[in-house]
Amino acid sequence: MELRADALAQSRRLRPWSLVAAGAVVWTAAYAVNRPLWEWLVGDVAGLDRGARLGGAVEFFVYDTTKILLLLGGIIFVVTVLRSFMSVERTRALLGRHRHGVGNVAAAGLGVVTPFCSCSAVPGFIGFVAAGVPLGITMSFLIASPMVNEVAIVLLYGLFGWKVAVLYAAAGLMIAITAGWVIGRLRLERWVEPFVFETTLHGRTIDPGAGLTWHERFAMGAEEVGRIVRRIWPFLLVGIAVGAAIHGWVPEDFFAEVAGAGNPLAVPIATLLGIPLYSNAAGILPLVEALHAKGLATGTVLAFMMSVVALSLPEMILLRRVLKPRLLATFVGVVGAGILAVGLLFNLIL
């Protein structure tokens, strides 16, 4: 009797893992078969000429949609499960005692691994500052979190290869660290809305990451995939459609003439263009991929992407609640300058 109960308990503990393993196998098979499948369906079954504009655009559209959905699903699941071990609350505790400089590096690094949604930006900011984390260090965290975003990095890897992905992550971290440090040195605490410093923290802080079972973590991962895909699929389709159109109809090397690596205005324009555009990384990447394929320089492309993701209008409207206009402007200015520098640098060296 006891042996059977033990065996049952054992199998119940293993069940989430076997499901995840099966899922991984299915995912890998789907990813491998993606390109040949659509080549066959579009070329042979539907009879479209893949070299022509319409055929090329259609194939790009269906292939890219499948690829990105697969990548997204995989990354979000894995990252959510890993991140369920971290929390903003624990990050705050870790950051409380660092000095400037080191603190900026730690904050940027933690910003990457800590789960963070844009709705946490303001409570997070208040929570950090009210707990005594210096303004500059808080800023490093706030800049790194949305910008060095796992979705962006893995999609970049899937679309451009690992070199670009690593460069993006490194550049994002450098910007977060430097911008946060600069803001800290400028001593801009007086431009934070006063109520933030007056907020007293009462109540026991709860750590959302503690005490979860694997089953719960996997469930969170699956839920997050569903939630994010449901939220962004219109952006994604629009981004891919525009990318497909560019792929099919814009001549090769079009951008190389108009906005190639030699043109210094390309990067500032790209950075400015990114500010009013709101998208998360997944929606903008297909567009970025197509632009790059048509000759837009890598540095310009990265600057555009960073600008869209890090200097988003909605997030700035949210941050206005806690930052006075001058601090907000400084924030945009410093981060924007960093993005500009990175874009120009990459155009030079790549």
Partner 1 sequence: MDIKVLGSGCANCKALEARTRAVLDDLGVVAPIEKVTDFADIAGYGVMTTPALVIDGEVVLAGRVPPVADLVAIIERATA
Binding site for partner 1 (CB under 8 A): 87-89, 92, 115-120, 122-124, 126-128, 130, 195-196, 199-206, 208-209, 216, 219-220, 223, 227, 231, 321-322
- Distance of closest approach, residue 83 Cβ to partner 1, in angstroms: 10
Nearer of residues 95 and 244 to partner 1, judged by Cβ? 95
Contact of 63 with 35, CB cutoff 8 Å: yes
Give the position of tokens 């197509």: 290
Distance (Å) of CA 53 to CA 47, 50, 244, 285, 319: 14, 8, 10, 21, 44
Please tell me the distance from the alpha carbon of residue 173 to that of residue 169, in angstroms, as a whole number.
6
Shortest distance, CB of residue 322 to partner 1, whole angstroms?
A: 7
d(CA 322, CA 193): 5
Q: How far is the CB of 218 from partner 1 (least distance, A)?
A: 12
Cβ distance to partner 1 smaller for residue 86 or 171: 86
Reading the block at residue 15, the tokens are 């069940």
Of the pair 1, 119, the CB lying nearest partner 1 is at 119
Nearer Cβ to partner 1, position 56 or 127? 127
Distance CA 268, CA 343 (A): 9
Q: Which two tokens stand for residue 50?
A: 């893949």
Of 171, 194, 191, nearest to 183 (Cα)? 191
What region does 213 belong to: left with phi over 0, alpha with psi -120 to 50, or beta? beta
Question: Closer CB to partner 1, residue 218 or residue 255?
Answer: 218
Q: How far is the CB of 89 from partner 1 (least distance, A)?
A: 6
Closest distance to partner 1 from the beta carbon of 80 (Å): 10
| CB 205 to partner 1: min, Å | 4
Compare residues 122 and 261 and give the one whose CB is closer to partner 1. 122
CB of 285 to partner 1, least distance (A): 22
Residue among 137 and 267 whose Cβ is closer to partner 1: 137
